[in-house]
């Protein structure tokens, strides 16, 4: 069965897609019907070789934040994680995984706005994939500028939110700020700096939730019409 034949579950549920390296494990979460909007957010998780999965607590908080403002969300495991087949590929194959998931979303929900979010390594992969996708919103949480080669990363051509902890102990915050300041002014994201916050947002996850929800509120897609 092709991915085009794999439909969205009617409620929260697992989906298995076919990617370049084999099976891709994904989970779809749906918002409450009375606040559902015409948009789907695909969310990328942190580095697989350091324990990153779609169940990471920052990823699940991103998911919750976007679902609470009315978007359907799709999290997935990169190749070699969980039920996803294949081996870690330093961002190249993971970008293909993302594009496979996003293509499936576009086929299933062609009239919905496509949003893309990522945390840490997932933010890097999301930015690599962004140029190939018709995005309406990008969300980058702790993008690892300075740890990964960002020379091939282009600013997305859509509204873009970056949230960075000022005490990040994995990604050097100043390298992220310098990367952003090196962009043309018109291409820079809306940058939210969170003081006294480390890479994994320990004890600050609810603050992250608020930063995401407030940061995207002006760009929300329309509410779905009730049946």
**Mind listing the pLDDT tens digit for each residue in 138-192?**
999 999 999 999 988 999 999 999 999 999 999 999 999 999 999 999 999 999 9
Supply the mean pLDDT for the chain: 96
Give the confidence band of 216 by pLDDT, cuts at 50, 70, 90. very high
Assess whether pLDDT exceeds 60 at residue 224.
yes
Specify the DSSP element, H or E, that contains 150.
none
Which pLDDT value is given to residue 227? 46
* Token code pair at residue 71: 């978007």
Q: Is 180 left (phi over 0), alpha (psi -120 to 50) or beta?
A: alpha
Count of H-run helices and E-run strands, the chain: 5, 8
Tens-digit pLDDT profile for residues 21-48: 999 999 999 999 999 999 999 999 999 9
Query: Nearest 5°: phi and psi at 19?
Result: -110, -175
* Token code pair at residue 192: 């939210």
Those residues with Cβ within 8 angstroms of residue 101's Cβ, 6 or more apart along the chain or in another chain: 17, 24, 26, 42, 74, 76
Contact between residue 131 and residue 105 where contact means Cβ atoms under 8 Å apart: no
The Cα–Cα gap between 172 and 107 comes to 38
Q: If you average pLDDT over residues 101-112, what whole number do you get? A: 96
**DSSP structure class, residue 117:** E
Specify the DSSP element, H or E, that contains 195.
none
* Token code pair at residue 134: 């018709």
Query: 213 burial class (0-12, 13-18, 19+ CB within 10 angstroms)?
Result: middle
Domains of the chain: 3-218 (3.40.50.1820)
């Amino acid at each position: 069965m092709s991915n085009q034949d794999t439909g969205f579950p009617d409620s929260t549920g697992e989906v298995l897609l076919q990617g370049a390296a084999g099976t891709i494990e994904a989970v779809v979460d749906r918002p409450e019907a009375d606040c559902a909007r015409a948009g789907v957010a695909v969310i990328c998780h942190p580095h697989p070789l350091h324990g990153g999965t779609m169940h990471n607590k920052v990823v699940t908080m991103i998911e919750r934040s976007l679902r609470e403002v009315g978007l359907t969300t799709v999290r997935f495991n990169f190749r070699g994680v969980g039920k996803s087949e294949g081996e870690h590929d330093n961002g190249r194959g993971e970008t293909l995984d993302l594009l496979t998931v996003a293509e499936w979303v576009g086929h299933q929900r062609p009239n919905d706005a496509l949003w893309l979010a990522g945390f840490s390594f997932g933010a890097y992969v999301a930015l690599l994939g962004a140029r190939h996708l018709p995005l309406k919103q990008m969300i980058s949480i702790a993008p690892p500028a300075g740890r990964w080669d960002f020379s091939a990363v282009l600013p997305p051509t859509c509204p873009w939110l970056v949230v960075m902890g000022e005490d990040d102990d994995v990604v050097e915050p100043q390298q992220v700020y310098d990367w952003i300041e090196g962009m043309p002014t018109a291409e820079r994201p809306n940058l939210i700096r969170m003081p006294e916050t480390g890479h994994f947002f320990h004890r600050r996850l609810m603050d992250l939730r608020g930063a995401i929800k407030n940061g995207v509120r002006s760009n929300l897609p329309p509410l779905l019409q009730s049946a």
